[in-house]
Structures are given as C-alpha cells and as structure tokens.
Amino acid sequence: MQRADAPVSPPVVLTVAGSDSGGGAGIQADLKTIEAGEGFGTSAITSVTAQNTTGVQGQHLLPIEDIEAQIRAVREDFDLAAVKTGMLATSEVIDLVVKYADDLPNLVVDPVMVATSGDRLLESEAENAYERLIAKSSVVTPNADEAEVLTGRDVADPDAAEAAGQDLVEMGADAALVKGGHVPGDEVVDTLVTPGSVTTFRHDRVDTQATHGSGCTLSSAIATRLAHGDDRSDAVASGIDLLSRAVRYNLDVGEGPGAVHHLVETRNEAARYETSEAVEHAVETLVERDVSRLVPEVGMTVVGATPYAETPDETAAVEGRITRTLSGVRPNRGVRFGASTTVARVLLAAREHDPALRFAVNCRLDDTVEDALTDLAGSVPAFDPGERPDDVDPGETTDWGVGEAFDASERTPIAVVGRGDFGVEASATLLATDAGTLVERATRLLESVED
C-alpha cells in the first residue's frame, strides 16, 4: 500500500558562522541547537577551523564570493524566519552580512572574537566594523569581554553590563544581551537592555570549564525561539534556561574541557515516558511486596527524575502517595509529573551532589527501621532540621540538610535520614541511580525490619 506523505513545516533558521571540527561550537553547535528547538537549520560557512577541545590549531577563511553564494542560495530557496551570526572573522565578511541584513529577519548577532580556549577568531581591525552590523540586529549577544571591546567600557559588574547594553542599543540594536559568564561571582547575571526596559536573568554559576560552544548555543536558541514567534524577552529567557542546563550537564568529550550539551532539553523531554514507566513498575513491585511496615504516616512516595531534571515538575511520582490499608498498601492514584514536592526536593537536593541519582522513596523512621538501615551496604547520614543555621532560609532547609548529610559521607549515600521537627515527620529517603536498585534497597530494608 502506498502511504500519503505528511510533511511538516518548521521555521527556517540560517547561521552565518565558522565550522568547528571539534563539533562543540560554530555551525555544528548552531545546527544541533536549532534542530533541538524544532527549527530547520541552514548555514553559510565563513571559515573552516582545525579545532578540538584543547584549542584552535588552524583556520581558513573562505573566499568572500563563496560565502555570499551560500547566503544567496539559502535566501532564494527558503522562507527565512530568523538568522544568527557567529564567527565572521574579517570586516569584509561583516560588511557582506550588513549588505543582506535588511532581508535577514530576526537577526541575532553573536560578536565572536575569541574562542573559549583563548584563541583569537576575529581580526583586530574588524572590531570597528561590528558597529554597522549591530545597527541592523534584533538582538546582539556579547559576553563581558566582547562588550568591553565594542563599547570601550570596563564590564565588571551588572551595572556596567547595563551601561554597555545601553551603548549597544544606542548603536542601533533593537536589544542587547550582555552575558555575565565572564564576570566573577557565585551567580551568573545576564542583562537584557532594550530602548525601554532592562531585564536581568540570574543563574547559579556551575563549577566547570566545559563551556565550549556556550555563546553559539545561546544565540542559536534565541534565534530559533524568535523564529517560532516568541517575543524577545521570552526568547532570551528560554535560551538562557537551556544554556544553564547545557553547561551543568556538559559533554565530557576530548582531552580538554568538554562542550555544552546542545540537546540537553530534547534528551530530557524524551526520557519522561521511560522515567514514568520506571516509577510505575517500582510502585507495583512495592505494593506486591506489601511494604506496609515502611510506609510513613503521611504515606510513601516513589519519585523518579528525568536525567537532567532541575525542578519538581521534571520528576514523576505517585499522585496522592502510597498508603496503608487493612489488606496491605495501595497507591491512591496514578503516576504523574509534578506530583511530589517533599520527596522530590530531597532527590533534587541529592542530585546537586551526585547528578547520577534519579530515584528516591521515603520510608518511616522508627528505632527498628533505623537499626535496619545499618544492615544496608552503604552510607546513611542524617541531618536535624532543628540545627539549621539562622542564615539559611527555612524554605531551603531540605537543600541545607541534604548538603550536610552528603558532606558527612565519603561516598554517595544510599539513604538520607531527616530527623523530625515541628510539623515535619522524621523519615529515611532511599536513593538510587535506577529504579531497580531502589526497589532492591527498599526490599532489603523491609526484610531486615521483619527479621
């Protein structure tokens, strides 16, 4: 039987940038990010670099007529929804993009000057040419170092970033996102400036050097969201959220610092079904085994996190919890994402110390259970909410307590004990990297209690 085709029409995004043979930055990063954002990526390669995670070994600028031919070929065939620029290398290439800029919608300019490794990717005499391109941009996305070159300001704090952003808007940009990754501090503060507003985006800094491709990924993500019709602020916020996660769960490849994880959100979303199924199977096994003796007064919750989960909404759990009945235990309802807060927060706090942890279940804590925990092969540290320091916000008690427990353990704990407090039931939360191990630990704990 011949089947009818079912074509789809994603928005088309063009990247005008250099090629990174190492795959972490340049058009390789751009195309991965555009595809992950449900766009169709096209490209005009400006320069070919011999590059890997340790640095740039060489680069070759394509003839200007070849770069122009690529731009013309894409424009003549595709209905472009957005365009982003990366490594342009020379003033001649920058002026070429300016020549076509009026026909390049939602133009996002990432003024690439230096690679993450420190290797220069822009001729010094081309720096002034960027002002002409910035005047044509919908968004320009310099890091602090690039903003200093473009504006002559010392960008060492958020106030200076705002001032630099104002300068870039005065050059003609519709908006300027001055990135704070190169500015020291525990937080990364990105500043979006438009003619009528200033918006700051704050994220905890990730302790890593694996940021190769971060600028390419962010600008491509913003361009793709603009191509989908998002307003500028939402597009920037979405891109920053993606990059924050992409940096934390970076790709450990090569001998040098790795690259950001361009497909992190796509992979995370794809794992939702598998995660939910694993939680459901774990619940069925625990119900069949009748773990009544381990069920707390408030009920038992089995939680599973997607591989790159950052919030409770990215954890699957039993809605309404598992409760005791006269004939054993049963779940009140099914499994859904966002159903747990308390146990999910314990798991997410534990993942800050060991991101491989993905599953958790809370158990009652009495003398018998606590004694039985010592029979399990692994560390079971405890924390007391009543000992929370005054400078820790009450809403962050779980994060503080789990952090204290991990600090007290030489290896990743197999469970964390939380002592009771006013209005809070004491409990032991079992942790595991997979659902099978979680069920195995719960079963062994039950057997020890029953013995």
Low-confidence ranges of the chain (pLDDT < 50): none
In this structure, which topology does domain 271-450 adopt according to CATH? L-fuculose-1-phosphate Aldolase (3.40.225)
Closest CA to 354 of 282, 313, 305, 387: 305
How many helices (DSSP H) and strands (DSSP E) are in the chain? 14, 18
Q: Which of 208, 262, 249 is nearest to 33 (CA)?
A: 262
Q: Widest CA span of the chain, in angstroms?
A: 81
What is the pLDDT at residue 385? 87
pLDDT, residue 327, reads 80
Q: Are 381 and 416 in contact (CB under 8 A)?
A: yes
Predicted local confidence at residue 332, as pLDDT: 84
In this structure, how many other beta carbons lie within 10 angstroms of the beta carbon of residue 332? Answer: 11
* Domain spans of the chain, in order of start: 12-263, 271-450
Q: Report the alpha-carbon distance of residue 386 to residue 402 in Å, rounded.
A: 14
For residue 424, the model assigns a pLDDT of 72
Is residue 211 within 8 Å of residue 183, measured between CB atoms? Answer: no
DSSP state, residue 414 = S
Give kind and range of the element (H or E) at residue 17.
strand 12-20
d(Cα 416, Cα 402) in Å, to the nearest integer? 7
Q: In CATH, what class is 12-263?
A: alpha beta
Asked if residues 232 and 175 have their Cβ atoms less than 8 Å apart, the reply is yes
